[in-house]
C-alpha cells in the first residue's frame, strides 16, 4: 500500500515549486498573446506563428534532449532552464514597458523559451521517479495534473486582474519572478539527484536509438503515441486561435478573456482530482479510450458559441477537453514511467515527446493559416471534430479488450498479453511489466 504523498517532504517541495511556476506561466500565456492582439494588432497567421514558435523546439530538440538529460543531473538541468526562462520573459516586460516590443521579439522569446521547456519537461518526468516510489507515481502524476489546472485558473484570473490594473507590460514581469522562485525551490529538495550512469564509451546515435527502440517496439506505447499526437495536433489549433476568437468573435474585454480562460481549467482540476480513482474503478487501460470518447464531444460547443451566451458554451467545451486530457495524461504518463528502466527514462520521454509534442507547432501554425483562409469559426469546427475523433484511434485497438494495462493486470488470467520486445543495447529483454526476463529488475 502506498504512503500518503501529503507527508512526503520532497514531493511537496517539488509540487509547490511547480505550482508557483505554472501560475506565472499561465500569466505569460495570457499576456503575450494579448500583447500581440491588442497592442501589435496581430493577424491570425501571426498569432499562429507565435503559438507555433513556443513549441517548435519539440521538433528538432526532443530526441537529443533525452540523451543529454540522461547524461546529466536532472535537478541541475531544471534549475538552469528556469533561470534562463526568467531572463527571456523579463525582456518582454521591459520591451513592452519601453514601447519597442515587436512580433519578431515575441517570436524569438517564444522560440528560445521552447528550448528551455523541452529540456525542463524531459528532466522533470525523469526526476519524479527518483523522488517517489513506483506505486506512488499514478497519485503523484494526478496531483501534478491537478496542479497544472489549478495554476492555470489562478494564473489566468490573476493575469486578467493585473492587466486591468497594471497593463500588459508590467504584468509580463510576474512570470519571470515565478521562474526564479521555482528554481530556488528545487534546491530545497533533500533527496539525492543521482548522477548519470557512466558507460565506458559514449555513442550518441546508439543511445538515441535505444530510446526510440524501447518506445516503438513496445506492444502498447505506439498506440498511445499515435492517439496523443492526434489530440495535440487538433487541440493546438484550438489554443492558437483562442484569444483571437474570444476578443474578435465573442467580443470579450481583456479582463473577461482572463476570466473565461481561467474557468476553462476547472475541467482539468476535476479530471486531475478524479484520475486515480477513475483509473482504478474503470480500469487503467479502459479509461484511456473511455475519457476521450465520453468527454471529447463537449469540444464541439466551442465553435458553436455566439456573442452573449457564447462564453458559457466556450467554457464548458474547453473544460470538457481539459478534463479528458487530465484523466488521459495521468494514466498514460504513469504507465510510461513504470515500465521504463531508470537509465532510459530521459530517452524514452524524449522519444515520445518528439512525436506527440512535435506535431503541436504544426497544429498551431495550421490553425493560424486555416483561420486566415477559411475563417476562425470553420477552423475551430475542424479542430473540435478532430479532438473527439482522436479517441477512435484508441477504441479500435487492443486497448478496447483490456481492463488494465499489462503491468497492472494478473496475466494471463486477466486477459493481458505477455508479449516481450527487444531490449536496448546491453540489457536483458524486458516484458510489458518492466521486469527483466532471465535477469534482474532494473534499479
pTM across the whole model: 0.63
Angle at 329 between CA 323 and CA 335, to 5 degrees: 145
Name which of 390, 314, 336 is nearest 359 in CA terms: 390
Q: Where are the domains of the chain?
A: 9-189+208-408
> In this prediction, what percent of the chain has a pLDDT beyond 90?
11
- Tens of pLDDT, residues 350-370: 788 788 888 888 898 899 899
pLDDT of res. 302: 93
338 CB neighbour count, 10 Å cutoff: 17
The answer to whether 272 and 148 have CB atoms below 8 angstroms apart is yes
Nearby residues of 373 by Cβ (< 8 Å), 6 or more positions away: none
Beta bridge partners of 436: 430
Band (197; pLDDT cuts 50, 70, 90): low
How do the residues of the chain divide into helix, strand and coil, expressed in percent and rounded to 5?
75, 0, 25
Band (2; pLDDT cuts 50, 70, 90): very low
pLDDT of res. 428: 28
The CATH code belonging to domain 9-189+208-408 is 1.20.1250.20
- Tens of pLDDT, residues 324-359: 888 888 888 877 877 788 778 777 877 887 888 888
Band (423; pLDDT cuts 50, 70, 90): very low
Amino acid at each position: 500500500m502506498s504512503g500518503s504523498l501529503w507527508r512526503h517532504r520532497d514531493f511537496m517541495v517539488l509540487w509547490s515549486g511547480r505550482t508557483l511556476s505554472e501560475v506565472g506561466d499561465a500569466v505569460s500565456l495570457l499576456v503575450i498573446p494579448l500583447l500581440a492582439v491588442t497592442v501589435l494588432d496581430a493577424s491570425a497567421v501571426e498569432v499562429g506563428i507565435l503559438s507555433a514558435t513556443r513549441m517548435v523546439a519539440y521538433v528538432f530538440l526532443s530526441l537529443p534532449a533525452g540523451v543529454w538529460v540522461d547524461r546529466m543531473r536532472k535537478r541541475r538541468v531544471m534549475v538552469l532552464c528556469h533561470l534562463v526562462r526568467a531572463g527571456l520573459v523579463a525582456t518582454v516586460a521591459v520591451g513592452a514597458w519601453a514601447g519597442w516590443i515587436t512580433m519578431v521579439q515575441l517570436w524569438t522569446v517564444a522560440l528560445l523559451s521552447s528550448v528551455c521547456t523541452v529540456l525542463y519537461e524531459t528532466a522533470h518526468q525523469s526526476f519524479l521517479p527518483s523522488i517517489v516510489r513506483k506505486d506512488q507515481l499514478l497519485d503523484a502524476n494526478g496531483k501534478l495534473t491537478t496542479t497544472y489546472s489549478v495554476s492555470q485558473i489562478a494564473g489566468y484570473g490573476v493575469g486578467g486582474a493585473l492587466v486591468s490594473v497594471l497593463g500588459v507590460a508590467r504584468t509580463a514581469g510576474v512570470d519571470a519572478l515565478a521562474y526564479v522562485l521555482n528554481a530556488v525551490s528545487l534546491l530545497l529538495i533533500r533527496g539525492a539527484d543521482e548522477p548519470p550512469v557512466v558507460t565506458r564509451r559514449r555513442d550518441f546515435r546508439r543511445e538515441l536509438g535505444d530510446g526510440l527502440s524501447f518506445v516503438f517496439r513496445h506492444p502498447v506505447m505506439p498506440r498511445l503515441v499515435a492517439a496523443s499526437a492526434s489530440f495535440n495536433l487538433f487541440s493546438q489549433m484550438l489554443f492558437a486561435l483562442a484569444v483571437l476568437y474570444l476578443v474578435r468573435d465573442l467580443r470579450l474585454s481583456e479582463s473577461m478573456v482572463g476570466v473565461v480562460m481561467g474557468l476553462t481549467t476547472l475541467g482539468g482540476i476535476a479530471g486531475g482530482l478524479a484520475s486515480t480513482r477513475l483509473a482504478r474503478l474503470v480500469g487503467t487501460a479502459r479509461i484511456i479510450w473511455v475519457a476521450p470518447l465520453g468527454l471529447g464531444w463537449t469540444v464541439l460547443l466551442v465553435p458553436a458559441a455566439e456573442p452573449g451566451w457564447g462564453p458559457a458554451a466556450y467554457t464548458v467545451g474547453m473544460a470538457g477537453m481539459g478534463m479528458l486530457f487530465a484523466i488521459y495524461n495521468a494514466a498514460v504518463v504513469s504507465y510510461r514511467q513504470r515500465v521504463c528502466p531508470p537509465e532510459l527514462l530521459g530517452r524514452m520521454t524524449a522519444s515520445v515527446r518528439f512525436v506527440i509534442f512535435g506535431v503541436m507547432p504544426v497544429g498551431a501554425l495550421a490553425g493560424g493559416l486555416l483561420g486566415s483562409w477559411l475563417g476562425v469559426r470553420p477552423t475551430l469546427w475542424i479542430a473540435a471534430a478532430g479532438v473527439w475523433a482522436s479517441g477512435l484511434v484508441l477504441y479500435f485497438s487492443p486497448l478496447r479488450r483490456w481492463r488494465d494495462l499489462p503491468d497492472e493486470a494478473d496475466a494471463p488470467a486477466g486477459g493481458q498479453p505477455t508479449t516481450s520486445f527487444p531490449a536496448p543495447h546491453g540489457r536483458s529483454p524486458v516484458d510489458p511489466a518492466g521486469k527483466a526476463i532471465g535477469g534482474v529488475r532494473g534499479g
